[in-house]
Structure 1
Amino acid sequence: MKVVDIHSHFIPKEWENLQKKFGGDGWPWLSHSESNVNNTQPEKAMLMKGKQAFRPVYSACWDAQVRLDEMDRDGVDKQIISATPILFAYDRPVEQASYCAQLFNDAALDICSKDTQRLFALAQVPLQNIDASCIEVSRAKACGHVGVQIGNHVGEKNMDDEGVLTFLQHCADEDIPVFVHPWDMMASERTKDYMMGWTVGMPAETQLSIVSMILGGGFDRVSDTLKICFAHGGGSFAFLLGRLENAWHHKDIARGKSQHPPSHYLNRFHLDTAVFDHDALDLLVKKMGPERLMFGTDYPFPLGEQQMGQLIKTSADLSDQTKQKLLASNAEQFFSL
C-alpha cells in the first residue's frame, strides 16, 4: 500500500545565533554531541531553549538521507515535514518572528530538496501578527510549501480568535491546507513530571482547539473551502463528542456562538491517526468517517509511531480500501500531492 505521513518534524542542523542577533533569553539552538565524530551511528544532539535542555534529538531531524532511509525501512513513500513548535517564536516581536519563519521555512525546503518527489514541507508563520502571517504563508506557498502548520493558540487566544479566523480565511482563499499542532501546553506546572505535558497536555490542547473552533463559531464564519487538520487524532474529541452534544442541547451557554450542534461540523476538518491504539483508531473511523483521517506519526520523536504505518496496516477491523484512504489517498487529495 502507498503510505504518506503528514505529521513529522524537522530541526535544522544549525542556524544563526538568534540570541546574539536579537537579544533576550530562551532562544532555541542545537547542541551537538562530541561523540558524533567518526561515529557510524546517527548523530545525536540536544535541542536547547536558552540554557535549558528541551529535548534530545537525532540526525533524522536534519539529515534527509537518514529520514529517507528510515522511510524505506518502514515502507513510507512520502513524508510532510513541519517545524518543531519550539521554533514558532509566537512570544517574540513580530519582526523577529517573521525572520524566524522565513529562516526555518527556507531550511525546511532545503531538507526537502534531497528528494522533492518524496519530501514536502509545511511552513510556519508569525501568528501573533495576522498581516505578517498572511504575507509569509503566501510567500511560502510560492516557494514550494504544500501547506502551513500553526500552533493551536497564541498566548490566551484560542482558534476562534478574530485574527486567527482571518488567517484561516486567507488560507481558504489561497487553497493553503492548515495543520494545527498543540504547543505551549496548559497546566504546565501540574504536568511537568513523567512527560505528562506530552501525554496529557498535548491531547487536551488539541481537543480545546477543535471545540473552540466549533463553539466559537469559527466553522460558521470561515469558508467551507478551508482545509484544516488537527494533530494527535484530535486528542479526546471523538471520545467526548457525546458530552459536547449533550451540553449543547441542554444548556444555552454551552452552545457558544455555534449555529449547529458539534456533530454537524465533523465534515469541516480532518484528524491525523497518531493515536497508537487500534480501539482509538476504530473510534476515529466510526465518528469521523474514513475520508476525514490521514496517517501521521509524529516522527522522529520517541513518542511518535516507532514502526511507521503499522497501526493502520495491522488493524483487523478496517478494510484494505479504508486502510489505503487513511494511509495515503486522503493526504494526497488534501495536500494536492
Structure 2
Amino acid sequence: MISTPLADGVIDVHAHWLPTELFHLPPGAPYGPMRDHEGALHLGDIPLSIPTRAMSDIDAILTDMRATGVGVRVLSAPPFAFPVGGGDGVGGYVAAFNEALAAVVGDAGGRLVGLGMVSLDEPAVARAEMERLARTEGMAGIAIPPLLTGRSLDQGSLRSILADAEDLGLAVLVHPMQLPRPEWSEHYLANLIGNPVETATAVAALLLGGVKEQLPRLRICFVHGGGCAPALLGRWTHGWHSRADVRRHSTRPPDQVFGELFFDTVTHDPQLLRSLTAHASKDGVVCGSDYPFDMAQSDPVRFATEHGPAAEALTANARAFLGL
C-alpha cells in the first residue's frame, strides 16, 4: 500500500537491501551466511565485490541515488535471502525482513518503496504474509525467485503466489537465484549465463502456461531485461504455432502476451535494450539498476534514457507496475 506521494524523478524498480541483523540468511539457504570482511561483503567464502554498507546502509543507498539521478528506489531482498529452503524458522525470517523494510521505506520521505518477502513452501502462510504487506504503508508487492524445487511460475506454490498477488493488487518482481550447475562452475557463468536462463525459463512458463491469460490483472516484472526471453520470443511463438503440446495450456501465442509484462533496463548493451523496447509494449519497460551488485547498471538513468524510453515514460511505467 502506497498512500504517501513518491519523490519526483525516475523510479529504479530493481535494487537490493538487507539489514545486517539478517545476514545469517533464512534456514536452508543455498549460500551463505553473508558476512563483513574488512568492509567488504562476502557470501560464505565468496567475495561479492561490494562494500558491506552498500547492501545494508540506507544512507549509502540514498547517496548512490543522488549520484545517479534516481528519484525513487524500490528495494527488495538479495536473491540469496529468498527462503527457498523452507522449514522451521522461515516465517520468522520473512516477518523480520518485511518489518525492517517497511520501517526504512516509511522513514524515507517517498524516496524508497519496498517489495517484501514471502514464505515459498506454504501457500496459506504466504497468503497471510501478502495480506499484511497489502496493508503496510510503503510496501508495493513482493519479490520471488523464478524457479523453486524444479518448477517455475506455472506450477506449484509459485503459481499460487501469483494468483494471490493478483487478487491483492501486489506487484511481483521475479529475480533469478544464480543456481549452481557443474558446467557453470568457472568464469562466473552461474551468473553470466545462469541468471538470464533462469529468467527466460520463468517468462516461458508464464506465457506458455497461460498464467498471464488466467491472471490478466497480474503486474509482474522480469529483471535483467527479461534475460534471454526477448531473443527467444520468436522461437517460442513458432513452436506455439507448430506444436500442439506447446500451445495446449494457452490460447494466445507468446508474442501476443509478451507486451503485457514488465521488464527492467539492466541489459548492459544498448542494442539489447533497443531490441527489448521493440518487443515489449511501450508501457512495459522500467528503469532498473541491480544496485549494489558488481553486475549492476552503474549509471541506470542515463543508460535507460539514452537507449530506451524517455524519463517520463520510464517513471509512468514504473508507477503502473507499482499500482499507482
Offset of 1:27 from its aligned partner?
6.9
Question: What is the rounded CA distance, in whole Å, between the counterparts of 2:23 and 2:32 in structure 1?
Answer: 10
Q: Is the 8 A contact 1:90 1:97 kept in 2?
A: no
Contact 1:180 1:229 in 2 (8 A): yes
Which residue identity is paired with 1:46? H
Counterpart-to-counterpart distance in 2, 1:17 and 1:199:
26
Shift of 1:314: 2.5
Which structure 2 residues correspond to residues 1-337 of structure 1 after superposition, within 5 A? 2-15=9-22, 28-34=32-38, 43-48=39-44, 52-53=45-46, 55-58=48-51, 59-93=53-87, 95-144=88-137, 145-185=139-179, 188-222=181-215, 224-315=216-307, 322-336=309-323
Instruction: Point out the more displaced range, 106-115 or 301-310.
Output: 106-115
Counterpart Cα distance in 1 of 2:146 and 2:15: 17
SS of residue in 2 equivalent to 1:290: coil
Is the CA contact (8 Å cut-off) linking 1:105 and 1:123 kept in structure 2? yes
- How far residue 56 of structure 1 moved from its aligned partner, in angstroms, is 4.2
Seen in structure 2, the aligned counterparts of structure 1 residues 57 and 240 have a Cα distance that, compared at 3 Å, is: same
Q: TM-score, normalised by structure 1?
A: 0.86
One-letter amino acid matched to 1:67? I
Q: Give the drift of 1:283.
A: 0.7
Cα distance between partner residues in 2 of 1:105 and 1:156: 26
Q: Distance in 2 between matches of 1:326 and 1:287?
A: 16
Name the residue aligned to 2:5.
none
Distance across 2 between alignment mates of 1:16 and 1:300: 15
What's the secondary structure of 2:147's corresponding residue? Answer: coil
Contact 2:305–2:311 (Cα < 8 Å) also in 1: no
Distance in 2 separating the partners of 1:26 and 1:244: 31
Check the 8 A contact 1:202/1:235 in 2, yes or no: yes
- The structure that has the greater radius of gyration is 1
Deviation at 1:162, TM superposition (A): 4.1
Q: Is the 8 A contact 2:29 2:82 kept in 1?
A: no
Q: Following TM superposition, by how much is the alpha carbon of 1:44 offset from its aligned partner in structure 2, in angstroms?
A: 2.6
Contact kept in structure 1, 2:184 and 2:194, CA below 8 Å: yes
**Post-superposition CA distance 1:85-138 (Å, at most 9, x none):** 111121121x42222111112222233344141011100111111111111111
Rate the CA distance shift 1:285–1:10 in 2: closer, same or farther, 3 A: same
User: Distance in 2 between the 1:53 and 1:283 partners?
Assistant: 34
Cα distance, 1:191 vs structure 2: 0.8
Provide Cα deviations, 1:43-72, integer angstroms capped at 9, x if missing partner: 433233xxx436343212111111111110
Specify the SS of the correspondent of 1:149.
strand
Determine the C-alpha separation between the residues in 1 that align with 2:133 and 2:280.
Answer: 30
Amino acid at match of 1:47: L
8 A Cα contact 1:2 1:327, kept in partner: no
The percent identity for this pair of structures is 25
CA distance in 2, matches of 1:146, 1:135: 16
* 8 A contact 2:197–2:228 mirrored in 1: yes
Q: Do the aligned residues in 2 keep the contact of 1:178 with 1:228 (CA within 8 Å)? A: yes
Is the CA contact 1:65–1:114 (under 8 Å) kept in the aligned structure 2?
no
Q: Which amino acid aligns with 2:124?
A: D
Give 1:28 shift. Answer: 3.8
* Matched-pair contact (CA < 8 Å) for 2:207–2:258: no
SS in 2 for 1:314: helix
Aligned length: 315
Structure 1 residues 16 and 168, CA gap change in structure 2 (3 angstroms): closer
